[in-house]
Amino acid sequence: MSGDLDPHGDVTVDRVALAEELAGEAAGAGHAASADVAAYALGLGDDSLVLAQRLGDWITRAPELEEDVALGNIALDLLGHARSLLHYAGTHDGRSEDDLAYFRDEPDFRNAWLFEQPNGDFAHTIARQLVASTYLVELYRHLEASTDATLAAIAAKASKEVDYHRDHAIQWTLRLAGGTDESRRRMVRAVEQTWPYVEELFRDDAVVVRLADEGVVPLPSSLRDAFDSVIDQVFAEADLARPEGRTAFVVDGRGREGRHTEHLGPLLAEMQVLARAHPGASW
Amino acid sequence: MSTPGETGTEAWPLWEVFVRANRGLSHVHVGSLHAPDADMAVRNARDLYTRRNEGVSIWVVPADAVTTSDPDAKGAFFESPAGKNYRHAVYYTKSEGVKHL
Amino acid sequence: MTAPAELSVASIDEHRDDEAQARFDDLIAKDSRIEPRDWMPDAYRKTLIRQISQHAHSEIIGMQPESNWISRAPSLKRKAILMAKVQDEAGHGLYLYSAAQTLGIGREEMMQQLIEGRARYSSIFNYTTPTWADMGAIGWLVDGAAICNQVPLCRASYGPYGRAMVRICKEESFHQRQGFEILLELMQGTDEQKRMAQDAVDRWYWPSLMMFGPPDDESPNSAQSMAWNIKRFSNDELRQRFVGMLVPQAEVLGVTLPDPNLTWNEERQAYDMSEIDWDEFHEVLAGRGPANAERLRRRREAHEDGAWVREAAAEYARKQAAKAATAA
């Protein structure tokens, strides 16, 4: 064998400094979440986890290879948020992120219904992304100011990432709504079928009201105006109408209470199947 | 002569991507990608070429907008500088050893 | 009979081609790089288009056996790692398509060749991934073999290919490690996990050795590729190196490599091993592997299902450009 190159395949490894994998861990300094904060973090963590699980399905199936990469990035960001939030929620009673992700049953999941809706076609995924990311941008922007150091640190990182997710969703909303007749028809339908799930995101419950009083979290209802105003701008440019008051159907989302649509069960069954087949195993 | 790659027959045109790794450095060509327009091209470039903190700034340029020198004329085109040794500091040997020169 | 005028033009062209060929030969002899606009022999261009596009297709099809487990990864950390890895493979496919494109072939054309079954890709991806341990075995064995093949390609004589490979090799350095660690974790786990790991190694070992291609004396294109500095080491050399690397790693893992005849031959300074089942290799290559049809079907569906989205974006760009033109 000749040449100055090692054909073994021992590729030189860049000595990069690794950033904190779970956001907020350092900021929290081992501080355990209170019952209310844990419940809140669980809901938010479940939102991101379930959405990441959905988006992961696009990898290998996206409309173009560049989009496989883009949706993969978004799913990875959301999975990162979910891990940080579930980890923090688990500090309340000593459960790990994986205990929470893999060993809770459907009624114990607290995600809003929007996030568990199927991917549908690309327009449905974009409509869901537009709603989810616009909501999350407003939420994390306020949560950065939380009196809870861990939540504030998680929000600070997530805030920048969901901002990009929103941009991605807006770009595609404009292109699908303003592209061909077919894409416009699909986008209009997707918006109509996604809108019934918007309401639940902005509903206040007893836990958030208590936490909002202490300055820990923003009231969901207080984020609605900012959400509407962003959506109105996007829709004005895309020549779409906000289907308020004339939605395709009406749902009463109760995900934060552990009630779910028919779509969550199969998603969890698939996600949890291997971990549950080997309880106590390490991976 | 344009840069190679653009076929003009695809749904989405080809874009050349340049990334600035850090402040103070030039944008360096890293590869190409397909995108329907400039807005999406710069976003696709971010997703594709900076997944590991490789950059702080990105340029995208339509591949067919790049003009290149003709490689077949390489000899003639790049011949002139050869021999103009007086453009290089090492040409001036008498000042060697003198400080701060 | 050729008219004199034509004769002289032809002889000028011929003279130019000879000169170009000489320049090309000189660059190769100096181990320099060929760049996209350089003159190159047709056969060199065709060989590269074939090799780079096959390599790109392999990355894209290679996403599928692993994406199979993204939804079921047994921990959130593993899910994130696997997702990042499969996504990297999409990126690597794109780097390679863009390198191939500099040789004058469009990505759409390459994609059509792939989904119509006219192009080849690494036959390893036609095997299925029935268990989680396959994620470990793919990382350790398949990515390990791929890296062995790819590192020398960083110095391939065609500039864009070499540059794409540098990027890919750097990014893939985590792929093999994560696979090794999956297996290590399983081998330190329950009996059932250990069985799962050994079973996956049993199934992936031989196919991973086949990834280096047929034996040197049956590899028709190797000699020319080596003369052109595209390929730097022979199939058998690389295969031997790979096995040498695996043996001590298998010991660390505690797995058995499924070849009873695998022994170090002091005299040859190489490993003796059983004969590879080349009939299986040729069967899979010929499209009769366990998942050939499924892999192509999935890629074709994604491409066809996405057509309306690609058209929409192109149409939007046209409308915006027209609007800008009117406004100006």
| C141-166: b (≥16 Cβ within 10 Å) or e | bbbbbbbbbbbbbbbbbbbbbbbbbb
Residues of C in contact with A182 (CB under 8 A): 308, 311-312
DSSP secondary-structure letter at C276?
P
Check CB contact of B12 with chain A, cutoff 8 Å: yes
pLDDT at position C7 over 50: no
What span, in angstroms and rounded, lies between the C-alpha atoms of A185 and B9?
A: 27
Check CB contact of B96 with chain C, cutoff 8 Å: no
- Does the predicted model carry a pTM greater than 0.80? yes
Per-residue pLDDT at C237: 92
Cα distances (angstroms) measured from residue A9 to each of C48, C119, C169, C246: 22, 27, 9, 12
> Nearest C-alpha of chain C: how many angstroms from A221?
31
Q: Is residue A11 part of a domain?
A: no
The residue of chain B with its CA nearest to that of C161 is B31
Q: Is residue A155 part of a domain?
A: yes
pLDDT band at C295 (very low <50, low <70, confident <90, very high): very high
Structural Rg of chain C based on CA atoms: 23
Q: Is residue A283 part of a domain?
A: no
Model pLDDT for residues B37-75, shown as the tens digit of each residue: 999 999 999 999 998 888 999 999 999 999 888 766 656
Model pLDDT for residues C147-170, shown as the tens digit of each residue: 998 999 999 999 999 999 999 998
What span, in angstroms and rounded, lies between the C-alpha atoms of B64 and B12?
A: 13
Q: Which residues pair with B67 in a beta bridge?
A: B2
Per-residue pLDDT at A8: 43
Q: Is residue A270 part of a domain?
A: no
Q: Is residue A86 part of a domain?
A: yes
Contact C87, C33 (CB under 8 A): no
Q: What is the mean pLDDT of residues C101-123?
A: 93
% chain C with pLDDT above 70: 95
Interface contact flag, A182 C308, Cβ < 8 Å: yes
Q: Is residue A4 part of a domain?
A: no
What span, in angstroms and rounded, lies between the C-alpha atoms of C142 and C183?
A: 13
Name residue, tokens 């005299």.
Answer: C267
Q: How far apart are the first and last CA of chain C?
A: 59
Q: Is residue A20 part of a domain?
A: no
Per-residue pLDDT at C283: 83
pLDDT band at C10 (very low <50, low <70, confident <90, very high): low
Check CB contact of A237 with chain C, cutoff 8 Å: no
pLDDT tens digits, chain A, 283 residues: what are they? 344 444 444 456 667 777 788 888 777 777 899 999 999 999 999 999 999 999 999 999 999 999 999 999 999 999 999 999 999 999 999 999 999 999 999 999 999 999 999 999 999 999 999 999 999 999 999 999 999 999 999 999 999 999 999 999 999 999 999 999 999 999 999 999 999 999 999 999 999 999 999 999 999 999 999 999 999 999 999 999 998 777 778 888 999 999 999 999 999 999 999 999 999 999 9
pLDDT band at C139 (very low <50, low <70, confident <90, very high): very high
Q: Which residues pair with C16 in a beta bridge?
A: none
For CA atoms C305, C309, C311, C314, give the dihedral sign.
negative
Nearest residue to A274 via CA among C41, C131, C83, C165: C131
CATH number of the domain where residue A74 is located: 1.20.1260.10
What span, in angstroms and rounded, lies between the C-alpha atoms of A258 and A272?
A: 17
From A16, A66, A171, residue closest to B48, measured CB to CB: A66
Average pLDDT over chain B, rounded to an integer: 85
Interface contact flag, A171 B36, Cβ < 8 Å: no
Per-residue pLDDT at C285: 75
Residues of C in contact with A65 (CB under 8 A): 60, 90, 93-94, 97
Structural domain span for residue A236? 30-242
Name residue, tokens 């660059």.
Answer: C27
Interface contact flag, B4 C91, Cβ < 8 Å: no
Q: Is residue A217 part of a domain?
A: yes
% chain C with pLDDT above 90: 76
Q: What is the mean pLDDT of residues B21-39?
A: 93
Lowest mean pLDDT of C26-35, C116-125, C221-230, name the range: C221-230
- Number of C-beta neighbours around residue C286 at 10 A: 10
Domains of chain C, first to last: 20-285 (1.20.1260.10)
Residues of B in contact with C316 (CB under 8 A): 36-37
What span, in angstroms and rounded, lies between the C-alpha atoms of C99 and C96?
A: 5
Domains of chain B, first to last: 12-89 (3.10.20.520)
What span, in angstroms and rounded, lies between the C-alpha atoms of C177 and C49?
A: 31
- Counting the structural domains of chain A, the total is 1
Nearest residue to A173 via CA among A234, A244, A230: A234
pLDDT higher for C251 or B79?
A: C251
Check CB contact of A282 with chain C, cutoff 8 Å: yes
